[in-house]
Amino acid sequence: MANARHVKFWDRIADRYAARPLKDPAAFDAMLADVASRLSPTDRVLEIGCGTGSAAIRLAPHVADYTATDFSPAMLRIARAKPAPENLTFVLTDAGSAFDGGPFDAICAFQVLHLVEDLPGTLAGIHAHLKPGGVMIAKTWCFADMGLKLRSLFLVLRLLGIFPSAASLTKAALRQAIRDAGFTIVDERVFGTNPHGPYIVARTPVEPS
């Protein structure tokens, strides 16, 4: 179940978060274009931690069915108020309970894996609810790779209640956790100028192990 403190945090900042302009729209567009290129019109897709639904609304037209989940009622209130494709469904649930309706052809996790309390458990759940040969597409903040000044700044922001609690991941540890869950990493890249938010595409075995 989602931590009540985390739900309260995201509900409190939802309107401010939605009103904040993207820092790098070109990088966001490029990432979504790459995601779309990996999906097919017959795919059933799940997104965990969809926030205000911006990625889901853009990606849903490329697939047969798209389910976007989040544990924050306030975030989903904003998402549901936006014009959206008919094949897109927003569902209130946390990352540990988001897999109803699986297995899926693809599961997306944009800026969410560093926020979950049980990363191995979440990755195992994603793997278990993908079809053979299915893909996980994730973009994840790796705070432990940042310089001391940036890490100290985020710590202060967390103490002030301005920034959420987040795992201090390195890219190496993230890659290893993904592999330990049974995935093969098939692509990794960075969109934009920040090297600490790797975009990783990982695939399950074509034949179940």
pLDDT at 57 over 90: yes
| Token pair in block for residue 104 | 């899926």
Which pLDDT band, with edges at 50, 70 and 90, does 153 fall under?
Answer: very low
Would you say the C-alpha torsion 165, 172, 29, 49 has a positive or negative sign? negative
Cβ contact 46:63 at 8 Å: no
Domain assignment of residue 69, yes or no: yes
Mean pLDDT along residues 159-179: 77
Task: Quote the percentage of the chain above a pLDDT of 70.
Answer: 87
- Amino acid 137: pLDDT: 98
CATH number reported for the structural domain that contains residue 197 in this entry? 3.40.50.150
**Number of folded domains in the chain?**
1
> What residues contact 144, with CB distance under 8 A and at least 6 apart?
151, 168, 169, 170, 173
Domain assignment of residue 209, yes or no: no
Domain assignment of residue 39, yes or no: yes
Domain assignment of residue 208, yes or no: no
Give the structural domain span for 16. 4-203
